[in-house]
Each structure stands twice: as C-alpha cells, then as structure tokens.
Structure 1
Amino acid sequence: MSRSWRGPYRAAVSRRRRSLPRRLFDWFLAIAILGLLILLSARLDRSEPRLASGSAVVNDGDTITVGDERIRLRGIDAPEYQQICRKSGADYACGRASRDALARLTRNKAVSCSGRQHDRYGRLLGDCKAGGVSLNSAQVEAGWAIAYGDFEAEQARARQRAAGLWAGSFEEPRAWRDAHGGMVESDRDHGGSFLDWLRQILRFS
C-alpha cells in the first residue's frame, strides 16, 4: 500500500466507523416514529364519540353531570361558583349567577352531550344540548361564560349588549383560579387542547 493513498483510505475507514453509532441512532429513531404512528393510528381507529344523555346536575357555569359522566362544556370558561364580580359599583356572586343561568337552560329538559376527549381531571370535554339549544353557545351568548378556544362570535355579541358578566367588571376565571388555588384548566388557546388530545390518545383504559 503506497503512502500516496494510505492516508485517504484510513480517513474513509475512520469516517465509516464514526458514522456507525449515528446510523444506529437513525434506525432507532425511524423505528420509534413508525411505532408511534402505528400506536396513534390504532388508538384513533378505536376512538368513538362518548355520548351521555338524561337529566343534568349543574355543578357550575360550565360543568354538568349527566348520569355518571361529569362533563366540562367544551370551548367556554365560566366563573367559579365562589367567584365574585363587580357591577354598578357593588360586588355580586357572578359564579352563582352563571351556574343559575345554566340550570335554567337545563331545567326539566333532557340533556344530550357528545365528546371525544377527557381533560386531566377525567371530565368529558363535551358539546351539550338541551331542548335543541347548545348549552356551550348559550352560556357565552348570555354573557355568563367567556370564549375559551371557541364561540368568539357569541362572546362579541354578548359584550356588545353588555350581557351577563359584561355588564360590569370581572376577573377571567382562569386568573381567578390561579389566584385562589383552584382547579387549573388547560389553556385551549396555547396548546392545552393538543396536550389533552395526546393524553387521551395514549390512555389505554
């Protein structure tokens, strides 16, 4: 072996040896991605809408219980039951008012809900109707819940009419929960919905 090409030959062998771990890593990564895609595909194939119907127990302005299913109304956020807001220079129990508004919508009516995801607290994220009326939309339209990833048009109309919460001043429910150590909701506008979806996809029970 002449000295003129011994150096390039050794360099080529060295590059091949150095690239072996990289090639193994690339193969491992490809197999892992393929496995994840197969897992997601299988899970999505099994994912059927969860349905619940019957009389509703209203927990607060955006949460109800139908049968044994606790349901968080998707796309909206209502003040917590203990939350206080301001109107006409005085405090009032806006959380209770929001709950009462939802109770009026469901009173003496069969409620039907549908959803595919559960949040981190095990509640079904659902779209619900009572007497043909969307509870999600109606709560925002009446001003007793704010848009939380959906129903922006309904909120704009409620705000223009100074309906419900918009008749005075209020702290956004998420900020109120943070300040009072309450349940922390997923942020639907900043990736929380995706995280809930991923969590649901990877749950096998």
Structure 2
Amino acid sequence: MGRIVHPKSAGARRPWWRSLIAARLPLVLALLGFTFLAYVATNDQHQLPRVHTGGGSSSKIVFRKAGCDIKGNINERGEHIYHMPGQEYYLATRVNSARGERWFCSQWEAWWAGWRRAKV
C-alpha cells in the first residue's frame, strides 16, 4: 500500500517564497555580512569627550582652557561633584589636580566622566 498522490499535484512545484523560507539561514547571514561591511566602510568613529586637566600630578596649580568654567571637585566622602558658575559654592570651590579634581567644558563632559551636579 503506497501513498495516494493526486494526479494534478504530482508535477506541481512548490511556490518561490517557500524556497526563501527554506534558505533563511544563508539569507540572514548574507544580510548581516552586508550590514557589517556597510558599517566598516563608513568608518565613522565617534570620539569620547576629552577631560581637561592642568599640569602634572605633582602640581597643585591647575590651569584651565578658556571657556572651561565648570569645576570638578571631590568631597571628603570621595563623591565626584561638579559646580557650575553661579551656583552657591562655586566661588569657594578650589580645584586641586593632586587630588584628581579637574575642569570641565560642558555639563555633558562632566557627566560622561562620572561626576554629578552639585545639589546646591
């Protein structure tokens, strides 16, 4: 006893889209390869912001670039806090590079370096 085959479906081919489903792994790999090559070909490397520090680690005098007015300060508990011009303790805050304190040019730069804004 064999399998009964309908005479019309004996010579029928499967639809073209079924062959795409059957070959989905090579298709996915080809698309990933194309995407990777397009990504590498553009060669857009975004630079991280540069943190401006002054002098060497032995220097207690910190020089800053023009326009970089945000003071990065480390408090007694080791918290990294930045102070914006116009804040309450901005004028009283001193930047000591020997302790790892530094100047920043933007809030985003300070945040990216891991510092938080002063609460007052």
**What TM-score results when the alignment is normalised by the length of structure 2?**
0.34
Structure with higher helix content: 1
Pair member with larger Rg: 2
Structure-1-length-normalised TM-score: 0.25
- Higher RCO (C-alpha 8 Å, min separation 6): 2
